[in-house]
């Protein structure tokens, strides 16, 4: 099977259009029925598959980087009498279990990116619904901040997955209805069991939409809301030092890929299929790199951290969907740690610059993508590594981190060190809303204070071990054997139990809407997608559209 490619650009879109005018953008969903990612289904009624969502994710990124002048994004349909029918059921029925679960996870991350743009980039999303808006279509609307529904007697919103398909809304709908829109629990129960959905005054009264408008005044209502949001949503950056603010172009990502290796400009990915291990080696910035806002504006695509964000993001998505049997990701780094720290300081110093802030936010989202990836995450800190500041996050995101103590006799590279900076305490929070260090040392404030006292200092293996920053340290005599034994042990465990264990342990601390979506929803959907009521030969997914009701296993578990 041809690997799924997550790289795209606006001129290659088949399902979306971006139209911008000043501070307003229209993101128009007009799905090509014959443009499915796989054969065997037609994307009718603006239903979507992974290919549609890959374009949406790319569009959200481009609006942030290529159109920073945009303050309001209007999400609308390019088809008459239908907004979006949600995820394509034929696609779901024929997809593997792994693809279904990863598809739901990716769509959730994409919708989170919309909410992140509203919260941090001043690009507020609103939805204009004419026609049917069901399932994943309504979940897409729920990810926006304001929903306008046409009061025309037919336009409606629905989450019909339970009665129709014996599954759950897969993209955060249940959580956003209660936690974001504050719909009463009993009314949410009713709403989620009505196949035909809710329209008109009931949709407004139940808080499922924000505004109900007659068709004759629909466009004017959109324009009024856009003007209101534009006025109350000023640019969050300091314009005094960037009067000629303009977007940057994101060209199609380049990579060299083979059966055993993927090479990018800032990292390499090595695939060991026999051991079921992937090694991701991050390459630090060049010693000659100069940092200034002027150079960043002129050569943004060459900025090391932006390239790293794009390339690591692509690598993780590729591994999730195309290499599901490679269960352990090993992160390494090589380069000059002082250069990494210069980037770390530059980012923190210039967060009032729109582009610097966007790159920082992109790194935050990329790290979250890693946190949410169902693989064992291991970081090895060796001679010549450059884990400092923003790159140190990959140590704190790992399920385990191993550090080499001392040096190999014939290796002239500097000993392994780690540098913690202020960025590690506040700039890159996890889905639970707190930093990886705070999550790692949850409830251990004294330990966090001890680490803060060492900020910006190169810490050797013994110091890191004493502070609890790494799991184990080994000298050159034991290093190779200990790492090998651990990786062999990891691959001997049940992948299913590892996924459950890791997901439970990674997110200590407070629960947020994000952690509920990825923790509760993903776990339940993972189970439901394997149950005969939904996925069996006579289950609801398989029988959808046949005129026959699915056969349900009545056992409650």
> What distance in Å separates the CA atoms of residue 176 and residue 192, rounded to the nearest whole number?
13
Residue 514 has pLDDT above 70, yes or no: yes
* Half-sphere exposure of residue 285: CA atoms within 13 angstroms, side-chain side: 22
Report strand pairing: 211-213 vs 198-199. Answer: unpaired
Are the C-beta atoms of residues 155 and 199 closer than 8 Å to each other?
yes
Categorize the per-residue pLDDT at 470 as very low, low, confident or very high, splitting at 50, 70 and 90.
very high
Residue 432 confidence (pLDDT): 96
> What distance in Å separates the CA atoms of residue 180 and residue 440, rounded to the nearest whole number?
28
Choosing among 3.30.1330.40, 3.40.1280.10, 3.40.50.1970, 3.90.226.10, the CATH entry for 14-232 is 3.90.226.10
Average pLDDT estimate for 14-43: 97
Categorize the per-residue pLDDT at 239 as very low, low, confident or very high, splitting at 50, 70 and 90.
very low
The residue with tokens 């184990």 is: 472
Residue 258 has pLDDT above 80, yes or no: yes
> What distance in Å separates the CA atoms of residue 146 and residue 340, rounded to the nearest whole number?
40
Residue 290 has pLDDT above 90, yes or no: no
Residue 522 confidence (pLDDT): 83
Each residue of 400-413: pLDDT tens digit? 999 999 999 888 89
Please determine, looking at this structure, whether the domain spanning 248-506 carries the CATH number 3.90.226.10: yes
Average pLDDT estimate for 356-370: 98
Each residue of 412-425: pLDDT tens digit? 899 999 999 999 99
Categorize the per-residue pLDDT at 525 as very low, low, confident or very high, splitting at 50, 70 and 90.
confident
> What distance in Å separates the CA atoms of residue 218 and residue 409, rounded to the nearest whole number?
74
Average pLDDT estimate for 449-471: 97
Q: What are phi and psi of 373, to 5 degrees?
A: -85, 130
Residue scoring higher pLDDT (258 or 546) = 258
Average pLDDT estimate for 457-485: 97
Residue 235 confidence (pLDDT): 62
Q: How many CB atoms lie within 10 A of CB 26?
A: 17
Strand ranges (DSSP E) for 15-131? Answer: 16-21, 24-29, 72-77, 82-84, 124-129
Extract the tokens encoding 395. Answer: 């140590």
Average pLDDT estimate for 308-321: 98
By mean pLDDT, which of 154-168, 222-236, 340-354, 435-449 is the weakest? 222-236
Beta-carbon contacts of residue 393 (< 8 Å; ≥ 6 apart): 367, 424, 428, 436
Each residue of 125-176: pLDDT tens digit? 999 999 999 999 999 999 999 999 999 999 999 999 999 999 999 899 999 9
CATH 3.90.226.10 maps onto the chain at 14-232, 248-506
Residue 82 has pLDDT above 70, yes or no: yes
Residue 25 confidence (pLDDT): 97
What does the mean pLDDT of the chain come to?
95
Categorize the per-residue pLDDT at 236 as very low, low, confident or very high, splitting at 50, 70 and 90.
low
Residue 526 confidence (pLDDT): 87
Categorize the per-residue pLDDT at 246 as very low, low, confident or very high, splitting at 50, 70 and 90.
confident
Residue 231 confidence (pLDDT): 87
């Amino acid at each position: 099977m041809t690997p799924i490619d997550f790289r795209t650009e606006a001129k290659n879109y088949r399902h979306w259009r971006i139209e911008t005018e000043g501070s307003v953008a229209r993101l128009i969903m007009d799905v090509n029925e014959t443009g499915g990612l796989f054969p065997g289904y037609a994307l009718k009624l603006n239903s979507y598959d992974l290919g549609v969502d890959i374009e949406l994710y790319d569009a959200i990124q481009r609006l942030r980087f290529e159109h920073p002048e945009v303050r309001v994004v209007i999400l609308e349909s390019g088809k008459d009498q239908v907004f979006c029918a949600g995820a394509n059921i034929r696609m779901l029925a024929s997809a593997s279990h792994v693809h279904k679960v990863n598809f739901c996870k990716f769509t959730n991350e994409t919708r989170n990116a919309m909410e992140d743009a509203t919260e941090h980039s001043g690009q507020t999303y609103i939805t204009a619904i004419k026609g049917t808006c069901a399932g994943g279509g309504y979940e897409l609307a729920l990810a926006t901040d304001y929903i306008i529904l046409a009061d025309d007697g037919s336009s409606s919103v629905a989450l019909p997955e339970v009665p129709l398909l014996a599954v759950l809304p897969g993209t955060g709908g249940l959580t956003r209805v209660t936690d974001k829109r504050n719909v009463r629990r009993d009314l949410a129960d009713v709403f989620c069991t009505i196949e035909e959905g809710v329209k008109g005054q009931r949709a407004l009264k139940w808080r499922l939409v924000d505004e109900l408008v007659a068709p004759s005044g629909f466009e004017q209502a959109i324009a009024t809301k856009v003007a209101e949001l534009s006025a109350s949503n000023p640019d969050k950056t300091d314009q005094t030092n960037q009067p000629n603010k303009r977007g940057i172009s994101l060209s199609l990502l380049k990579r060299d890929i083979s059966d055993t290796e993927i090479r990018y400009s800032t990292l390499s990915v090595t695939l060991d299929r026999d051991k079921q291990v992937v090694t991701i080696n991050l390459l630090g910035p060049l010693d000659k790199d100069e940092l200034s806002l002027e150079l960043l504006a002129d050569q943004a695509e060459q900025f090391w951290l932006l390239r790293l964000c794009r390339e690591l993001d692509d690598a993780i998505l590729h591994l999730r969907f195309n290499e599901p049997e490679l269960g352990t990701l090993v992160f390494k780094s090589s380069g000059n740690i002082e250069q990494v720290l210069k980037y770390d300081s530059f980012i923190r110093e210039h967060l009032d610059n729109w582009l610097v802030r966007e790159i920082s936010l992109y790194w935050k989202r990329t790290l979250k993508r890693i946190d949410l990836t169902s693989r064992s995450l291991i970081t090895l800190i060796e001679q010549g590594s450059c884990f400092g500041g923003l790159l140190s996050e990959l140590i704190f995101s790992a399920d385990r981190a191993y550090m080499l103590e001392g040096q190999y006799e014939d290796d002239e590279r500097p000993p392994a060190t780690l540098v913690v900076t202020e960025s590690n305490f506040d700039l890159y929070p996890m889905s639970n809303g707190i930093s990886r260090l705070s999550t790692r040392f949850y409830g251990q404030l004294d330990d966090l204070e001890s680490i803060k006292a060492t900020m910006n200092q190169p810490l050797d293996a013994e110091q890191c071990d004493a502070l609890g920053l790494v799991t184990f340290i080994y000298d050159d005599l034991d290093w190779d054997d200990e790492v090998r034994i651990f990786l062999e042990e990891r691959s001997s465990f049940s992948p299913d139990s590892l996924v459950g264990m890791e997901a439970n342990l990674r997110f200590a601390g407070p629960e947020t809407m994000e952690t509920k979506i990825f923790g509760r929803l993903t776990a339940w959907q993972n189970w439901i997608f394997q149950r005969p009521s939904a996925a069996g030969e006579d289950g609801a997914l398989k029988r959808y559209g046949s005129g026959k009701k699915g056969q349900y296993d009545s056992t409650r578990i």
